[in-house]
Every structure is written in C-alpha cells, then in structure tokens.
C-alpha cells in the first residue's frame, strides 16, 4: 500500500507538471499562429492510451511516463519528422516565424513551470501558513554527530552565522553547509564567546558522499522529565523535574543522546541515572519496543506564520527564487568533476521515494512545486533536445543573423536524445544499485 500511494503521488505530480510545461509551448505557439500537430501527456511509441482530434491538433496520452511533448509544425523536435522539413515552408510553421517568436515558444514551458511553482507556494502559504523551527529559539545550541565533531563543532554550540549570513530556519543550516563550492566560514557561540570555524569544502563533500549528514545536528535539549505518562515509569521511580544523566552507564548530556541509548535498550529494562535535587538516583526503568520510557521532555515549540492572500503572493515569489537558487547551486556541485557527486543523481525511484507514505496534500503540493523548479532548471540546460538547447541555437541566430541548417539541427537533435537517454539510464541505474545496497 505504501508503494502504491507513493506511485500515485508521483504519477499525479508528473502528469500535472508535464501538462503545464507542454501547455506553455502550446499556448505560445498558438499566440504566434503556429500550428501544433500533437499535444501528448507521456510518450506514445507504437500506440497511445487514448487520443482525439480538435482542429489541426491531436491530443492524447501515451503509455510511457517519461515526460510528454507537443509536435510543432516546421520544427525538428523529438518526433524527428525530417520529411516535413523537406517540404516548402508554410506561413503557419515554426520555421517561418522570426527568431524572437521561436525563442519565446521554446522558453514558454520553462516559464510555465516557474509560474506554477509560484502559484503552488503562494497557495500553500495562504492555506496552511508556514511552520518552522527558528535558529534564534535554539538557546541551548545543537548536539552534533561524529561528522559534526570532526568539523570542529561541539555539543551546545549555537550557530550565529554561515558565511556572514544568519540562518533563520533550522533546516537552512545543513543546506547552507552541504551545498557549497568553497570552504564555509561558520561563527558559533560557545560558552559566552563567539568562535570562528573554517569548514573545508572537501570535508563537507565527504560528509555528503558517506551520507553522514543524517542527524548531523539536533536541538540540544536538556534531558529533563517534563511529565510521567505511564504507570510503569511512575513505579520505576521517575518524577517530573528529574534530569536523566545516564542510560545503561552511557552519559546522556542531552535528549538526543538519551534517545540513542534507549534504542539500544528497546524491549528491555534500562539502568537510568537521574539527578533529583542534590541526590543522584539509580533506577530500573522498563523500555518499550519502540524505545520509550513513558515520559515527555520539554521541547522547543515551532513558530507558525499565517499569510493573507496579499502576503502569500510575494512570499511565494521569494520562496520560488530561493528554491531556484538552491537547486542551481546543487546542480553545479553535482556536475563538478572535483566533487565526484554525480553518483547522487537519481531517477524515478529516487523521485518517487521523496513522497510521503501517506497522502498529505500540503506535502504533495510542496514537493510538486519543488519538482516543477527542478524540471524548469533541467530543461533550461543547453543540451540539444532540451528547451535550453533549442534556445541556445536560436540566440546564436539572433546574434549572428545566421540560421543553423536543418541538417545541423537534425544531427544536434540526435546527439541530444542520445545524451538524455544516457542520463536517464545512468540515473535509474543509480537507483537500482542503491536498492541492492
């Protein structure tokens, strides 16, 4: 059932994004009176799931969910209809229009994906608001894993700035550290003093390669009992206000360390050392199979912001800009040979796995907006066969006033399709390798 829910979310997301992207090309072509011969969701080699014709355009859905396309008359595209290009130029064909109109048609799909992201982010903020954990609220700082300690962080450090910029959202910290093309300068507050740490880029890349970013930092929360929830915990002697200092003889300076110790003792009875007033007590506390002692600990509450429609629109615009910038920097890191992060590239399984196991509309729309941005950026790459490749050749024509020949465009299209297929095979191959690992 979990796999089915993820697949349904993935297909719904992909269908919407392909529809919007191809509609951008379609509507721009129609504005300039260019004939669109086909408008397809998904690809249709050999046969389609359904189709119908309205005017000069055939609409349909293919069976291969790898994208979609519009077949624009008089253009060398995925259809590779070279026979049409041998015929005399018609006024309603793509090739008959001035270069600036053709450029707009090529970029319209990318523009629609960006506009969709703005609309979705604005709608999510207006409907659900924004909930986040603020860096300013982490008055006790953070607890770090071993990778964090190797970089020079110490438990209890409060992060003041990264490269001179103060993080607002707790989640921004890891993103700012790991999406980098240079060393990071981090200022932390430790023991009332401000200390500057230089984090080497190579070490940050190694953390990504080894996936040591998991639980890189957590809130440094003193392990103090707020409330006793179960009779078993009460019979064991736990009381509100107790400070847990060790579990099974392992020190627990903060709650995250305590949770790690409880996971090792799940389903058994743990030896728990507590401080109560001036006394240190040793208790035998039963631990449930899901690693709980039946207590609650005082947590730092998240902040929540509500948005009016007038506030949600510019906030959605800003969020789209931030996500675009982050993804572009991420993409540059991945393709940089020095980082060796190309193996992070994932295919359909990787994308499907980012959807939650249960259908949640807020998560669905946030992920759809993010993937829409990813689709826009990827399509803008100057690779023959993608929108960016077509736009690049059109810009060359505008600048030099020399139009590339149909034969050249045909060869470039074949090269582009081959590159895209290789990328698809490589990305999905990475998914399969990770499954076996």
Per-residue pLDDT, 33: 94
Query: How far apart are the C-alpha atoms of 397 and 409, rounded to whole Å?
Result: 12
Per-residue pLDDT, 82: 62
pLDDT category of residue 342 using cuts at 50, 70 and 90: confident
Average pLDDT over residues 155-171: 93
pLDDT category of residue 413 using cuts at 50, 70 and 90: confident
Per-residue tokens: 159: 């992060």
> Which is higher by pLDDT, 237 or 45?
237
Q: Which CATH architecture has domain 225-297?
A: Roll (2.30)
pLDDT category of residue 107 using cuts at 50, 70 and 90: very high
Asked whether residue 138 carries a pLDDT value surpassing 60, the answer given is yes
Average pLDDT over residues 256-284: 89
Percentage of the chain modeled with pLDDT above 70: 97
Strand 225-228 and strand 295-297: the pairing is: antiparallel
Catalogue the long-range contacts made by 74-81 (C-beta closer than 8 Å, 24 or more residues apart).
74/34, 74/35, 76/406, 76/409, 76/410, 76/413, 77/413, 78/43, 78/385, 78/413, 78/417, 79/38, 80/410, 80/413, 80/414
pLDDT tens-digit readout, 370-397: 999 999 998 998 888 788 888 888 898 8
pLDDT tens-digit readout, 59-97: 999 888 777 888 988 887 665 556 666 778 888 898 889
Query: How far apart are the C-alpha atoms of 184 and 425, rounded to whole Å?
Result: 34
Task: Tell me if 136 sits within 8 A of 406, measured CB to CB.
Answer: no
Per-residue pLDDT, 77: 66
Per-residue pLDDT, 83: 66
Asked whether residue 344 carries a pLDDT value surpassing 90, the answer given is no
pLDDT category of residue 213 using cuts at 50, 70 and 90: confident
Per-residue tokens: 11: 């297909």
Task: Tell me if 12 sits within 8 A of 100, measured CB to CB.
Answer: no
73-82, 127-136, 201-210, 294-303: lowest mean pLDDT where? 73-82
Query: How far apart are the C-alpha atoms of 139 and 159, rounded to whole Å?
Result: 10
pLDDT tens-digit readout, 24-41: 999 999 999 999 999 998
Question: CB-based burial of residue 154 (10 Å sphere; 0-12 exposed, 13-18 middle, 19+ buried)?
Answer: middle
Q: What is the CATH number of domain 135-219?
A: 2.30.42.10
Asked whether residue 343 carries a pLDDT value surpassing 90, the answer given is no
Per-residue pLDDT, 410: 79
Per-residue pLDDT, 119: 97
Query: How far apart are the C-alpha atoms of 389 and 402, rounded to whole Å?
Result: 16
Per-residue pLDDT, 81: 59
pLDDT tens-digit readout, 221-239: 888 999 999 999 999 999 9
Asked whether residue 154 carries a pLDDT value surpassing 70, the answer given is yes
Chain centroid to CA 115:
18
From the list 276, 272, 310, the residue with the least C-alpha distance to 293 is 272
pTM above 0.95, yes or no: no
pLDDT tens-digit readout, 397-406: 889 888 888 7
From the list 311, 372, 256, the residue with the least C-alpha distance to 15 is 372
Query: How far apart are the C-alpha atoms of 37 and 389, rounded to whole Å?
Result: 22
From the list 97, 211, 96, 87, the residue with the least C-alpha distance to 147 is 211
Mean residue pLDDT across the chain: 88
Average pLDDT over residues 195-217: 89
73-82, 287-296, 352-361: lowest mean pLDDT where? 73-82
pLDDT category of residue 136 using cuts at 50, 70 and 90: very high
Give start-end residues of each CATH 2.30.42.10 domain in the chain.
135-219, 225-297
From the list 429, 243, 262, 423, the residue with the least C-alpha distance to 334 is 423
> Which is higher by pLDDT, 350 or 20?
20
107-116, 239-248, 380-389: lowest mean pLDDT where? 380-389
pLDDT category of residue 315 using cuts at 50, 70 and 90: very high
Query: How far apart are the C-alpha atoms of 312 and 379, rounded to whole Å?
Result: 27
pLDDT category of residue 147 using cuts at 50, 70 and 90: very high
Task: Tell me if 346 sits within 8 A of 330, measured CB to CB.
Answer: no
């Amino acid at each position: 059932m979990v796999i089915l829910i993820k697949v349904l979310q993935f297909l719904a997301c992909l269908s919407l994004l392909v529809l919007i992207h191809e509609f951008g090309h379609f509507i721009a072509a129609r504005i300039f009176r260019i004939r669109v011969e086909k408008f397809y969701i998904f690809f249709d080699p050999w046969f389609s799931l359904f189709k119908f014709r309205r005017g000069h355009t055939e609409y349909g859905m293919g069976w291969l969910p790898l994208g979609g396309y519009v077949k624009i008359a008089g253009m060398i595209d995925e259809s590779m209809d070279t026979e049409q290009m041998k015929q005399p130029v018609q006024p309603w064909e793509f090739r008959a229009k001035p270069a600036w109109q053709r450029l707009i048609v090529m970029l319209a799909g990318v523009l629609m994906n960006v506009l969709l992201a703005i609309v979705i982010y604005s709608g999510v903020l207006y409907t659900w608001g924004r909930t986040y954990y603020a860096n300013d609220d982490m008055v006790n700082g953070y607890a770090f894993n071993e990778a964090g300690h190797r970089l020079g962080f110490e438990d209890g450090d409060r992060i003041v700035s990264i490269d001179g910029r103060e993080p607002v959202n707790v989640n921004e910290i890891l993103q700012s550290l790991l999406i980098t093309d240079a060393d990071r300068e981090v200022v932390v507050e430790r023991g009332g003093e401000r200390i500057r740490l230089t984090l080497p880029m190579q070490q940050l890349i190694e953390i990504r390669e080894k996936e040591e970013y998991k639980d890189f930092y957590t809130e440094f929360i003193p392990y103090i009992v707020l409330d006793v929830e179960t009779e078993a915990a009460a019979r064991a002697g736990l009381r509100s206000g107790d400070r847990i200092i060790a579990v099974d003889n392992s020190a627990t300076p903060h709650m995250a360390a305590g949770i790690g110790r409880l996971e090792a003792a799940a389903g058994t009875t743990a030896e728990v050392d507590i401080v109560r007033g001036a006394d240190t007590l040793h208790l035998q506390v039963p631990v449930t199979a899901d690693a709980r002692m039946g207590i609650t600990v005082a947590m730092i509450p998240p902040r929540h912001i509500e948005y009016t429609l007038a506030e949600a629109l510019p906030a959605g615009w800003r969020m789209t800009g931030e996500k675009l910038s982050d993804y572009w920097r991420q993409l540059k890191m991945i393709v940089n040979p020095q980082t060796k992060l190309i193996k992070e590239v994932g295919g359909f399984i990787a994308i499907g796995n980012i959807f939650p196991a249960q259908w949640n509309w807020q998560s669905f729309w946030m992920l759809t907006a993010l993937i829409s941005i990813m689709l826009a950026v990827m399509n803008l790459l100057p690779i023959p066969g993608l929108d960016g490749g077509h736009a690049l050749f059109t810009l060359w024509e505008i600048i030099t006033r020399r139009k590339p020949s149909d034969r050249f465009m045909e060869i470039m299209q074949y090269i582009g399709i081959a590159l895209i297929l290789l990328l698809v095979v490589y990305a999905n191959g990475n998914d399969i390798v990770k499954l076996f690992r």
